[in-house]
Chains A and B, each alone.
Chain A
Amino acid sequence: MVLVLALGDLHIPHRAADLPPKFKSMLVPGKIQHIICTGNLCIKEVQDYLKTLCPDLHITRGEYDEETRYPETKTLTIGQFKLGLCHGHQVIPWGDLDSLAMLQRQLDVDILVTGHTHQFTAYKHEGGVVINPGSATGAYSSMTYDVNPSFVLMDIDGLRVVVYVYELIDGEVKVDKIDFKKTAATTHSAH
């Protein structure tokens, strides 16, 4: 059982002062094996905080990030799954699933995690899963009205991944979960 925390678009301090206290009390060091962050933290303090939760931290660049050297995209393998990470402002139209699926094919990953829209989505298609963990602070977005703070926790176990989404709605943390199974890994032959 490998726990992967996916979150992003915190926009601290431009659009939010801090993570919601209820989230902060849930995110405890030592419980999570990997953190993937879609970007727009925006300041180093947030990166330092995330590092205390888990040293294996992966971040891609959002357009407001103070650190300009984060990569535009990142891929990593966890267990049987290949994950891809990208902030998402580079994929036009923003939030369009077909365009995101194209990026997924390009990165050749089973799970693609992107942000930018501040709206949680989890979408399954033949090529795999596209997940948007939303905004962990509920930051203002020009695209989404009434943003609820949210983040995603993935439990990767063999060929199965359970995606837990935590949303703060009216002061209460609501949890939902979605199951994905991957068909046995096929080798991709080069041409």
Chain B
Amino acid sequence: MIADGVEDEEKWLAAGIAGLQQNAFYMHRALDSNNLRDALKYSAQMLSELRTSRLSPHKYYELYMRAFDELRKLEVFFKEEARRGCSIVDLYELVQHAGNILPRLYLLCTVGSVYIKSKEAPAKDVLKDLVEMCRGIQHPVRGLFLRSYLAQVSRDKLPDIGSEYEGDADTVVDAVEFVLQNFTEMNKLWVRMQHQGPAREKEKREKERSELRDLVGKNLHVLSQIEGIDLDMYKDTVLPRVLEQVVNCKDEIAQYYLMDCIIQVFPDEYHLQTLDVLLGAFPQLQPAVDIKTVLSRLMERLSNYAASSADVLPEFLQVEAFAKLNNAIGKVIEAQPDMPILGVITLYSSLLTFTLHVHPDRLDYADQVLGACVNKLSSKGKLEDNKATKQIVALLSAPLDKYNDIVTALKLSNYPRVLEYLDSETNKVMATVIIQSIMKNKTRVSTADRVEALFELIKGLIKDLDGGAHDEVDEDDFKEEQNSVARLIQLLHNDDPEEMFKIICTVRKHILGGGPKRLPFTVPPLVFSSLKLVRQLQGQEENPFGEEDSTTPKKIFQLLNQIVETLCNIPAPELALQLYLQCAEAANDCDLEPVAYEFFTQAYILYEEEISDSRAQITAIHLIIGTLQRMHVFGVENRDTLTHKATGYSAKLLKKPDQCRAVYACSHLFWVDDQDNVKDGERVLLCLKRALRIANAAQQMSNAARGSAGSVTLFVEILNKYLYFFEKGNPQINVAAIQSLLELVTTEMQSDSSTPDPAADAFFASTLRYIEFQKQKGGAVGEKYEPIKA
């Protein structure tokens, strides 16, 4: 059915165009032969096509444009006629004899244009006449196009200031009056369309109205271009008259479009100075008008205006823009209690952006806006609407972006209160936004108070808010979140040790509530922050007159003990062990023997009781031996106990090769280069011999289990260790020992039962090369190595 309609329209349009073109042809002929009568006759016939009611605005426009073009030629002709001595006044009279009113009026406007140009009559008189005559057409579409034509031809002939048409009698006031009248009439026609036709075609009508709206809006455009309109005239005449029409027409579509038009078309300074009047119109509009969008756009324009130059800011203060906008929004919200929460938040969001641009230093204003938002939210409870929550995130992100500095945002007392109304998902989103802002701007959060406030804000990430079973959190997302918290902890710093200690305590307090899943992420960064502080204090002299309560490494170690302990209960024993060893090393550097011993004890207990995975054991052993090897703080007894245990663990690893390697690593516990009292050659040798025995046993086991001896790699490794201590000057390791080991390896390699292993071969070969090279070195080293026969 609809398709038919469209097809019909196409037909009618085609017919209209054909008729128009035919009459235009004859009109041209008449023009060429200076035949005024015929020209008028055919032009009138041509314009009759515009009398149709069958076309939608879109199609009517096509017809109109062609007519417009033809009328231009006619106008040129009229001008020529006038030059040739034909009286314009007479012409003006003559065209009014056209049979039908619509063609008559188009012709009249065309002549009128020439008339004004001739200056035979004041512009204002002609314009007034025309604008009133056009009342003859009350059909909306035809009337709108006719008046649009009038606006177009009169545009450059308005008696504006500085225009050639300005005179004693013709002033800009008249120009304004003309445009206002045309505008008013056009709006009336436009509104009338709403009520034409059956109710079921309302949607179609509204669409057609939307197509025509720019014709009406154009008038406001023209007004904005009139140079003679200054602020006073705008305030006293233009705005009141326009608003009067807007309010009185009581039409939603018109009101929404025209309010927006006013805002977009007139300069921002004018809006500032007429803010009362402008805002006063809003409550008078139809309830269905989307005021929040218009208001938001107004605030956006004003924000941009403020951002454009600092010079304009005093104006804002002078007109008390913030207060007025705040009130207006309040009134609008009050007047529409059913406004969905999304609308409310959008309004406050725009207002906040405005405030941030115009009054960047007035944190109290920003806080006020947030407070108003909180008030409104409190009556609605936790938000469910997705779009609304997105808007709130935008609302809360605005201060972060503007201030580039979380610290300033932290000063807004209402900021955390807004967060309360978000569900836990969105809380997490917001927390992530906050952390990202900090990382991007490298903001230093440097006091314990601010850290406290910050952690309150991001508590969505720090702990479970709903306190109950909640939906499956994606594991990767969870890791990412917690890692970002970990990175954040790195940025919390103050050079003053006292303050830094307070920060550490604050962070600790918050992360402890995080639960077993979060602690493995949040504890390590805190531990390392603390260790860095220890190192900083190490460098400072211990102040004997210092206060009792001042921060000392000891205090920090006590705290560290507690912090790492939390990992033991999760369980995360490997991580805890590593951290205990780190603390032990730090205690060693501070010469705190009992503290270091305690940390080692904790680590050992974890090893014995909690770490049972073989691979984890190997890593743990390496760390234990490596750390212990570097300890210089232990007295003989303590060192012996710890060393004894370490070697014991080494020998009890599951796989023989691992045992062997761990045991020969222990040999280094008895010989430390830079500690002269730890150079026990005998016990080094004992360790190496033990390793050898284990290697032998490994070979035998391999033989028994698989029928062939395993690789000789272990022997080559031990050989290398012999060479190491030989070079260091261990008296217990002599050439004979090395020689016999060399022979052992060679024999094993050549034996039939051994598995060929190219890696072991290469290793042995490079070891032999090494021996050769040491011999070549000459001097003391060369002498030592000389007796060794490879």
Residues of chain A at the chain B interface (Cβ within 8 Å) = 11-18, 43-45, 63-64, 68, 89-90, 92-94, 96, 98-99, 101-102, 105-106, 108, 126-127, 140, 142-143, 145, 188-191
**Are A105 and B767 in touch, CB under 8 angstroms?**
yes
What are the residues of chain B within 8 A of A89 when measuring CB–CB? 619, 622-623, 626
Best-surrounded residue of A14, A64, A92 (most CB of chain B within 10 A): A92
Other contacts beyond A92-B665, A108-B766, A142-B531: 8, CB < 8 A? A92-B626, A93-B672, A108-B762, A126-B773, A127-B766, A127-B770, A142-B585, A191-B746
**Are A191 and B490 in touch, CB under 8 angstroms?**
no
Main SS class of interface, B: helix
What are the residues of chain A within 8 A of B626 when measuring CB–CB? 89, 92-94
Within B511-540, the residues touching A (CB, 8 Å) are 521, 524-525, 528, 531-532, 535
What are the residues of chain A within 8 A of B585 when measuring CB–CB? 142-143
What are the residues of chain A within 8 A of B615 when measuring CB–CB? 68
**Are A92 and B629 in touch, CB under 8 angstroms?**
yes
Answer whether A140 and B532 are a contact pair too, CB < 8 Å, given A43-B479, A127-B769: yes
Answer whether A13 and B487 are a contact pair too, CB < 8 Å, given A63-B578, A92-B622: yes
**Are A143 and B528 in touch, CB under 8 angstroms?**
no
Answer whether A14 and B578 are a contact pair too, CB < 8 Å, given A45-B483, A127-B766: no
B665 to chain A, nearest CB (A): 5
**Are A14 and B524 in touch, CB under 8 angstroms?**
yes
CB within 8 A of A63: which of B439, B623, B746? B623
What are the residues of chain B within 8 A of A92 when measuring CB–CB? 622, 625-626, 629, 665, 668
Question: Cβ of B478 < 8 Å from any Cβ of A?
Answer: no
What are the residues of chain A within 8 A of B756 when measuring CB–CB? 190
A188 to B586, CA, bound (A): 45
Within B672-714, the residues touching A (CB, 8 Å) are 672-673, 713
**Are B758 and A105 in touch, CB under 8 angstroms?**
no
**Are B767 and A143 in touch, CB under 8 angstroms?**
no
What are the residues of chain B within 8 A of A94 when measuring CB–CB? 626, 629-630
What are the residues of chain A within 8 A of B713 when measuring CB–CB? 106
CB within 8 A of B766: which of A14, A43, A105? A105
**Are A191 and B761 in touch, CB under 8 angstroms?**
yes
What are the residues of chain B within 8 A of A108 when measuring CB–CB? 759, 762-763, 766
What are the residues of chain A within 8 A of B582 when measuring CB–CB? 142
**Are B532 and A14 in touch, CB under 8 angstroms?**
no
Question: Cβ of B403 < 8 Å from any Cβ of A?
Answer: no
10 nearest CB pairs, A to B: A13-B486, A142-B585, A14-B524, A105-B766, A17-B487, A108-B762, A17-B490, A126-B773, A190-B761, A13-B487
A43 to B484, CA, bound (A): 11
A126 to B769, CA, bound (A): 9
A68 to B713, CA, bound (A): 25
**Are A13 and B483 in touch, CB under 8 angstroms?**
yes
Question: Cβ of B765 < 8 Å from any Cβ of A?
Answer: yes
A11 to B766, CA, bound (A): 34
Answer whether A17 and B766 are a contact pair too, CB < 8 Å, given A89-B623, A89-B626, A106-B717: no
**Are B750 and A191 in touch, CB under 8 angstroms?**
yes
